[in-house]
Amino acid sequence: MTHEKVALAFSGGLDTTVCVPLLEEEYGYDEVIGVTVDVGQPSEEFDEAHETTEALGLDHYVVDAREEFAALCLDAVRANATYQGYPLGTALARPVIAKAILSVAEEHDCTGIAHGCTGKGNDQLRFEAVWRDSDLEVVAPVRELGLTREWEQEYAAERDLPVEGGDGGAYSIDTNLWSRSVEGSELEEPGYVPGEDIYAWTSAPTGETEEIEIEFEEGYPVGLNGESVDAVELIETLNDVAGSYGVGRTDVMEDRMLGLKVRENYEHPAATTLLNAHEALESLVLTQEERMFKTRIDQEWAEKGYQGLVDVPLVRALEGFIDETQERVTGTVTVRLEGGQARPVGRTSPYAVYSAEAASFNTADVIGGIEQKDATGVAKYHGFQERLSNEVAEAANAGQPLADGGPDDE
């Protein structure tokens, strides 16, 4: 007889805890294993997951994917990736988590793979985009059985499952290296003004100021204040430093992939700081046409990142353009942290597309064979078509042709 085993994306919260007996009773699995993936969550979340799996008698596997996730976050920096005004955090973490769980499932000869996502959110799509490329059965008990939060709480109480009060707090919170999201309860009301209690990474802005220097090589941030630093340490350090100045808060009405509009609150100090610094350096080293076209490339990358589709052919093609532009995005950016902002106040690069002599109002010399009076011809042509259009319209309204031969007067 075949031993049916399923790997469950396990957090230790209400949804995934309830899924354990349901996978056995409703789906007929002989064994459930729990898999928790570390992408920078607080240590207490792993303690909770371990205690819960131990109480349930499950084998529990923890995968450290912080470096892989941090690398993807820095790829997002090169693409200036934001969605509707905030840096992608949860969205980028999900494919990393999904791959790690799939690897454990295959290693332990599982026949199924499961998550505790509802049918209203984005995460179900992000997980399954990875998993459905395998031969494993994909199971989603909360979605497929139409479970509600209240039903799960009652079920957990009846079965004496090891969860306290359902979710351990009033809000649904998701934390990783790159961002912390807070939703649910009264925050679902767009008109509700949240208090400081929802924030954990950021302090209320004060009048204090600090300047930091971030070094980039080919678009990747590699150093802080003159010291080389790896991706994980850089992100963690900037979350602490920038967060202490209130940097990186977003309150947004977000359009989900299924068409639902939801209210989300985010904290992302390191992400905001690095994205602002990177864009400042790009403004120095890229040509105007490169910058304008790259905004389209960046937007497409961000859309696929939001969808959890970071490994699709389109993204690989987009990254070909991004790689080409980032060859010159090397240099140092000085960022001033103050009043909830991370504001670039200085940038240097050996690839700067800038000439102080050419740009200065105090320079009368001929630069590159061009002098000020050469702009006269450009000034005459600038806006010519628009002026002509206005003249044609005025003549047509007056029922008169242009004196120098406008539209035919029949």
What are the catalytic residues? 15, 94, 123, 172
The two three-digit tokens of residue 127, written as one number: 């997980």
Q: Shortest CA distance to 20 belongs to which of 45, 62, 55?
A: 55
Distance of CA 6 to the CA centre of its chain: 30
Q: Shortest CA distance to 113 belongs to which of 133, 93, 96?
A: 133
Distance of CA 50 to the CA centre of its chain: 28
Residue 98 near residue 130, CB atoms below 8 Å: yes
Other Cβ atoms closer than 10 A to 198: 19
SS3 23: helix
CA atoms within 13 A on the CB side of 401: 8
Residue 76 near residue 279, CB atoms below 8 Å: no
The two three-digit tokens of residue 188, written as one number: 């679902």
AA letter at 327:
E
Distances (CA, A) of 46 to 9, 36, 41, 58, 383: 13, 8, 8, 14, 63
Other Cβ atoms closer than 10 A to 303: 15
Cβ-based neighbours of 356, under 8 Å, separated by 6 or more: none
What does the alpha-carbon distance between residue 361 and residue 47 come to, in Å, rounded to a whole number? 63
SS3 332: strand
Distance of CA 49 to the CA centre of its chain: 25
The two three-digit tokens of residue 185, written as one number: 């309860």
Cβ-based neighbours of 29, under 8 Å, separated by 6 or more: 4, 5, 6, 23, 112
* CA angle 200–13–117, rounded 5-degree value: 100
